[in-house]
């Protein structure tokens, strides 16, 4: 009921009033907490996917170079080595919550703060009052379009606000006596690169797997991570998935611009063993691999499933995926798109709840399942529709055999699930661990 009332108020209130309200709150929050961002180097990251992974690689490299660094991301919130889950159920917290976090980081001695900056946050002016020094664009795909009048152009313009704001946040800061120029870092492999490079900045850097000032070559990738070169330097990451090379490149770009040595950058990338809810390995002694990943739209789902397929190709293992889609006005077009990919690239598909909000869970599930059927999947044979997410996870794990890969997607490290407008505590990683323990106990009992 509360969510419905809130939604109604938004619908009947003129947009300019809502916009002024959000902008006013942003300035008030910054003033109340004495603008802590003016005393740290702020790194803003925007884009459809990869933001949390990019943030984690940057954090690891800066920490490894001796700079205490804070992070606010979908996956996790960090203040130096202190880490706690993001319980806001939103990537970019509200203005007062965000300024409070930045204040805590500054008081804890952080020299850097990394802020995932979303299109919704930008639309609501949550970035105002934050003195950015680096801004990063990862990529742009259809997502959250209903919030932007179902327009990719408006979605892109919303993200562009971060780059437009870069040169409006005051003078460049100093780090260790050295001036840090206002820098824009853009994915050169994205078709939208020119738009984000068009905004003024003191320095512009491009990156990409295929092209850019910093690009990757001599790539070797397997289930244990990847090895690659940029220029004459060789780097390695232990996070699986070749797509994570692209997510590591902005960290190299920032560190090089700050004069951090290649050896320290390499060690920083290698130090990152886990990104919460991003290809996160769950191991309870089972004879198959299980990964929890946030993948919740077409492109990230495709990359994840292809990674899973590569993992099993030499062992004749199978790929089992659990997926779903959000309700609450989120983009409905991605449901069949993900269903088709799952049907085509996975051996077994389990469709379950993610966050239906007030929407009919079965309608969401059917949109995905019918698309999987179109790729040859058969219900109750290699396609299963199980509304209860725990039951769905249990089913996915129970089908796994040695050498299989199980991918639990859609929520990553989120700390809640929203069903029927009500919020319930939830963590995919904990549920998977619990169900693996039960499965192991059941298998051990059957052997005795």
DSSP states along 384-403: EE-SSHHHHHHHHHHT--TT
**What 3-state class would DSSP assign to 415?**
coil
Mean predicted confidence (pLDDT) in 98-112: 97
Q: Give 26 or 251, the one with higher predicted confidence.
A: 251
Measured at the CA of 68, the angle between CA 228 and CA 165, to 5 degrees, comes to: 80
**Is residue 67 predicted with pLDDT exceeding 60?**
yes
Residue 260: DSSP 8-state:
-
pLDDT digits 0-9 by tens, 108-153: 999 999 999 988 888 889 999 999 999 999 999 866 555 556 678 8
pLDDT digit string (tens) for 319-329?
999 999 999 87
Report which of 292, 225, 228, 329 is spatially closest to residue 428, judged by C-alpha positions: 292
* pLDDT number for residue 443: 78
Q: Assign 3-state DSSP to the chain and report helix, strand, coil percentages, each to 5.
A: 40, 20, 35
So what's the pLDDT on residue 19?
79
pLDDT > 90? residue 21? no
**pLDDT tens digits for range 414-444:** 999 999 989 999 999 999 999 999 998 887 7
Instruction: Please give the residue that has the higher pLDDT: either 89 or 143.
Output: 89
pLDDT grade for 26, boundaries at 50, 70 and 90: confident
Taking the alpha carbons at both ends of the chain, their separation in whole angstroms is 51
- Beta strand extents in 125-202 (DSSP E only): 132-137, 173-175, 178-180, 183-187
pLDDT at residue 92 in the model: 84
Q: What is the average per-residue pLDDT within 172-198? A: 96
Helix (H) or strand (E) holding 158: helix 152-165
Task: Identify the weakest region by mean pLDDT among 109-113, 397-401, 411-415.
Answer: 411-415
pLDDT at 12: 64
Q: Is residue 179 left, alpha or beta, with left meaning phi > 0 and alpha meaning psi from -120 to 50?
A: beta
pLDDT of residue 352: 98
pLDDT of 267: 98
Q: Helix (H) and strand (E) counts for the chain?
A: 14, 22
Please tell me the predicted confidence (pLDDT) of residue 120: 86
Gyration radius of the chain's alpha carbons: 22
> Can you tell me the distance from the alpha carbon of 221 to that of 239, in angstroms, rounded to the nearest whole number?
10
pLDDT digits (tens, 9 = 90+) for 377-387: 999 999 999 99
* Domains of the chain, start order: 9-271 (3.40.1190.10), 280-443 (3.90.190.20)
Considering the chain, what is the average pLDDT of its residues? Answer: 92
Residue 28 CA: distances (Å) to CA of 34, 100, 339: 10, 12, 44
């Amino acid at each position: 009921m509360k969510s419905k009332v809130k939604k109604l108020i938004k619908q009947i209130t003129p947009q300019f009033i809502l916009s002024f309200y959000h902008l006013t709150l942003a300035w008030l929050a910054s003033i109340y907490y004495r603008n802590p961002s003016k005393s740290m180097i702020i790194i803003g990251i925007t884009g459809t996917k990869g933001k949390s992974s990019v943030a984690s690689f940057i954090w690891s490299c800066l920490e490894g170079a001796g700079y205490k660094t804070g992070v606010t991301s979908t996956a996790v919130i960090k203040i130096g080595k202190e880490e706690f889950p993001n319980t806001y159920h939103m990537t970019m917290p509200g203005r007062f919550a965000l300024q409070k976090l930045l204040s805590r980081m500054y008081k804890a001695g952080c020299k850097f703060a990394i802020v995932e900056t979303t299109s919704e946050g930008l639309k609501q002016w949550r970035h105002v009052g934050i003195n950015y020094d680096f801004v990063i664009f990862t990529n742009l795909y259809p997502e959250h379009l209903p919030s932007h009048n179902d327009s990719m152009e408006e979605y892109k313009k919303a993200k562009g606000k971060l780059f437009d704001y870069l040169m409006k946040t005051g003078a460049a800061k100093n780090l260790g006596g050295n001036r840090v120029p206002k820098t824009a870092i853009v994915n050169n492999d994205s078709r939208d690169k020119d738009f984000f490079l068009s905004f003024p900045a003191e320095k512009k850097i491009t990156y990409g797997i295929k092209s850019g000032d910093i690009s990757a070559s001599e790539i070797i990738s397997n289930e244990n991570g990847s090895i690659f070169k940029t220029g004459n330097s060789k780097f390695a990451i232990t996070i699986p998935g070749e797509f994570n090379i692209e997510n590591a490149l902005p960290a190299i770009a920032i560190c090089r611009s700050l004069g951090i040595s290649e050896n320290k950058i390499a060690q920083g990338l290698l130090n990152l063993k886990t990104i919460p809810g991003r290809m996160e390995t769950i191991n309870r002694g089972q004879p198959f691999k299980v990964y929890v990943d946030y993948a919740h739209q077409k492109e990230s789902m495709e990359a994840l499933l292809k990674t899973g397929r590569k993992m099993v190709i030499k062992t004749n293992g199978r790929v089992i995926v659990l997926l779903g889609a959000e309700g609450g006005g989120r983009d409905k077009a991605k449901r069949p798109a993900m269903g088709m990919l799952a049907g085509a690239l996975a051996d077994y598909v389990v469709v379950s709840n993610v966050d239906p909000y007030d929407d009919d869970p079965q309608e969401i599930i059917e949109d995905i399942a019918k698309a999987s059927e179109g790729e040859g999947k058969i219900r109750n044979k290699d396609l299963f529709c199980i509304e209860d997410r725990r039951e769905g996870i249990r089913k996915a794990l129970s089908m796994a055999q040695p050498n299989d890969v199980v991918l639990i997607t859609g929520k990553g490290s989120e700390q809640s699930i929203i069903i029927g407008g009500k919020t319930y505590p939830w963590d995919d990683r904990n549920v998977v661990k619990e169900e693996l323990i039960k499965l192991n106990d059941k298998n051990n009992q059957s052997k005795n």
